[in-house]
Amino acid sequence: MIDNKPVLAIIPARGGSKGVPRKNIRNLSGKPLIAWTIEAAKKSSYIDRLIVSTDDEEIAAVAREWGCEVPFMRPAELAQDHTPGIDPVLHAMEMLPGYDFTVLLQPTSPLRVTEDIDACLEQCVREAANACVSVTHTDKSPFWMYQLSDFGKLLPILESEQPVLRRQDAPEVFVLNGAVYVAKSSWLHQHRTFLHVETTGYVMPKDRSLDIDTRLDFAFVETIMNEKLHQVEK
């Protein structure tokens, strides 16, 4: 609990990953990908109930093997390529009512640590916010991003009276990193999104903000993890 309010954490893990088949249970530095998120969440000071929402029996079995509850199987219609990401969360909330805060933890963010989960919840309570999501700095400022016209001319994404020519003159910009999403359950049920004008951002360092979507991402994250494990063993 946090602020005497119970917390439900949901790890969504459907079986039909296209970019990296069976991604959620693929081995990453000695553990299934999903296990890294389960272990981080289980150490949280605030999460009262941790579940995996999946349509896949093998993923469910792996989740249980790593000590996570799978209280129901997700309906197939909520595990399609076109299914909005919020739908499995709302479904889990309906199946398991009575929690004041809902936390979404995507298994594709294995570098996220327990402190990130708890700090995001703490920020949400401290700032009396309805929602808080994790973000990280980005070097790719939208002030240097363009579209191309039909005639090949540069069309700036952001309009500015004065062009920003130096990196140090560009405003600080953040990007969603997909690691932690927190919201008051009643508010989330009403708005059906974590991202809203009322949402605050919890800043995470870049080295914990990598999201796995492709085989290259998988190899890159595994290299980082193996290096960290090697440093710990020294």
What's residue 157's pLDDT? 85
The answer on pLDDT for 167 being more than 70 is no
Core vs surface per residue 120-150: b (16+ CB within 10 A) or e: bbbbbbeeebbbbbbbbeeeebebeeeeeee
Residue 19 — very low, low, confident or very high, per pLDDT cuts 50/70/90? Answer: confident
What's residue 234's pLDDT? 60
pTM: 0.92
Over residues 13-27, mean pLDDT: 87
What's residue 39's pLDDT? 98
Q: What is the pLDDT of residues 111-157, one digit of tens each?
A: 999 999 999 999 999 999 999 999 999 888 887 788 999 999 988 88
Please give the mean pLDDT across all residues of the chain: 92
Taking alpha carbons only, the member of 59, 37, 61 closest to residue 50 is 37
pLDDT exceeding 90 applies to what percent of the chain?
77
Over residues 60-78, mean pLDDT: 97
Tokens of 209: 């903000």
What's residue 174's pLDDT? 94
